[in-house]
Amino acid sequence: MTQAVIKNEQREFSFSEDEFRFLAKLVGELTGIVLAEHKTDMVYSRLARRLRTLNLSSFAEYCDLLQTEEGQEEIPQLVNAITTNLTSFFREAHHFEHLRDTVLRPLAASPPSPKRLRLWSAGCSAGMEPYSIAMTLKSAIPNLDAWDARILATDIDTNMLRTGVCGEYPLSEFDHIPPSLRGDVQRSKERIRMSESLQKRITFNELNLLESWPIKTQFDAIFCRNVVIYFDKPTQQTLFSRLADHLKPGGWLYIGHSENLHNVCDRFELVGRTIYRRIR
């Protein structure tokens, strides 16, 4: 690798342009995330922690490690470090209002036979999204115990999934939960914990959206929010078509506030702000 260095005067580790390009290419192959050059500082700050943990003295050593057999154990840590996990309970609240009023309450009023419901949080991060879905589900369907209702929560970041399984979050997150839905949230001086009744509705699994999906279910609704903004257009086209395949006809898709399906996938119709319905 060449030693064209990127603003290293005040950095702990040297970081060359070639090293950035190598890491960006590897991350793209592993996750589909596109790391443009303006992400250099972000990549440095997130991976510098890994260098310290591994007692490495440069990014050149880190890149070399990733190309060895032993370095394959580092790949999940690389992915975890790069993946963005900005999340909170009931983020983009209009999605949960739509889920409650347009999707769930009509089902509760005229339930299908059998009473089966499947929801998917794709890119669930630390689990706040699927728990928000679970709280919404419980509030919208009074006799929920009579239903076979499950939420699949998937993410590529194994650290975030462990947090979701644990179901514990900083006390500061309590204020993001509507007061009417706090009955399933146990509160202490420093933490909040999701109730067992919420946890039992959710299955957390590791899943790379670019790879094969061991999922045979068709879902009533899918949340895939703030995920595809890191993907190029062809990858987005492929992903949304695959999501359509896993939605029931007329099923609902919720995407991020800066995302849209215009010229990306024609299998959905826009029915609300970042809310789509499968039409074919």
Average pLDDT, the chain: 93
Task: Tokens for 197, please give them.
Answer: 């009744």
Other beta carbons within 10 Å of 71: 15
Binned at pLDDT 50, 70 and 90, residue 8 comes out as: low
Query: What is the distance between the alpha carbons of residues 45 and 135, in angstroms, rounded to a whole number?
Result: 35
Q: What is the 3-state secondary structure (H, E, C) of the chain?
A: CCCCECCCCCCCCCCEHHHHHHHHHHHHHHHCCCCCHHHHHHHHHHHHHHHHHCCCCCHHHHHHHHCCCHHHHHHHHHHHHHCCCCCCCCCCHHHHHHHHHHHHHHHHHCCCCCCEEEEEEECCCCCHHHHHHHHHHHHHCCCHHHCEEEEEEEECCHHHHHHHHHCEEEHHHHHHCCHHHHHHEEECCCEEEECHHHHCCEEEEECCCCCCCCCCCCEEEEEECCCHHHCCHHHHHHHHHHHHHCEEEEEEEEECCCCCCCCCCCCEEEEECCEEEECC
- According to the model, what pLDDT value does residue 85 have? 67
Q: Annotated catalytic residue: which of 91, 150, 155, 277?
A: 155
Region 74-88: what's the mean pLDDT?
Answer: 84
- According to the model, what pLDDT value does residue 3 have? 46
Walk me through the domains of the chain, giving residue ranges and CATH numbers.
17-82 (1.10.155.10), 93-278 (3.40.50.150)
Q: Annotated catalytic residue: which of 46, 50, 100, 242?
A: 46
Binned at pLDDT 50, 70 and 90, residue 202 comes out as: very high
Q: Is 277 a catalytic residue?
A: no
Residue 2 has pLDDT above 60, yes or no: no
Q: What is the pTM of this model?
A: 0.85
What pairing do the DSSP bridges indicate for beta strands 168-170 and 191-194?
A: antiparallel
Q: Is 155 a catalytic residue?
A: yes
- According to the model, what pLDDT value does residue 60 have? 96
Query: What is the distance between the alpha carbons of residues 88 and 226, in angstroms, rounded to a whole number?
Result: 13
> How many percent of the chain have pLDDT more than 90?
82
Half-sphere exposure (CA, 13 Å, Cβ side) for 141?
A: 25
The predicted-structure confidence for 111-170, as pLDDT tens digits, reads as follows 999 999 999 999 999 999 999 999 999 999 999 999 999 999 999 999 999 999 999 999
- According to the model, what pLDDT value does residue 9 have? 55
Residue 201 has pLDDT above 50, yes or no: yes
